[in-house]
Amino acid sequence: MQQTALEETEPMRRDVTFVSGGLRCSGWLYTPDSIAEGLRPPAVVMAHGFSAVKEQGLDRFAERFAAAGLVTLVFDYRYFGASEGMPRGRLFPADQIEDYRNAITWLSEQPEVGAARIGLWGTSYRGRS
């Protein structure tokens, strides 16, 4: 069966980390199943609001974005989930904004990403900031 542009493929996911505030933030990088030679697709950075972690439903959205051809980074803020930082669960919005900025910078440096085409997607509190 010939595949059309509208058909979705199974995205690939790998564990990644980036540094923010001197701590490692843990994430998942989803890539489309196939990227044409020389193509650098757009990307999306995703995180929950406040204290939720990436395992709490973001994978469903990231899989859909990747299946539609976007590279997608889902991450945990420092002090939460698989990311580093003590005390656990420390909630400081300025740190979370810095984590988002550092996630964008890290993603823009990846060879499979069109650095000028990175969008943000969030839920709850991060969906409005």
Query: What domains lie within the chain, and their CATH numbers?
Result: 12-127 (3.40.50.1820)
Q: How far is CA 95 from CA 20, 27, 103, in A?
A: 8, 16, 12
β-strand partners of 15: 28
The pTM score is 0.84
Q: Report d(CA 48, CA 46) in Å as an integer.
A: 7
- Interval 51-99: pLDDT, tens: 788 878 888 999 999 999 899 999 999 999 999 999 999 999 999 999 9
What pLDDT, on a 0 to 100 scale, did the predictor assign at position 120? 92
| Tokens describing residue 23 | 């701590």
| Tokens describing residue 31 | 């890539």
Answer with the residue of higher pLDDT: 98 or 1. 98
114 pLDDT band, cuts 50/70/90, is confident
CB burial of 82-97 (b: ≥16 within 10 Å; e: otherwise) equals bbbbeeeeeeeeebbe
Phi, psi for 102 (deg, rounded to 5) = -70, -30
Q: Which of 26, 127, 45 lies closest to 84 in space, CA to CA?
A: 26
Q: Report d(CA 66, CA 125) in Å as an integer.
A: 23
User: What single letter denotes the amino acid at residue 32?
Assistant: P
- Interval 32-43: pLDDT, tens: 876 666 678 899
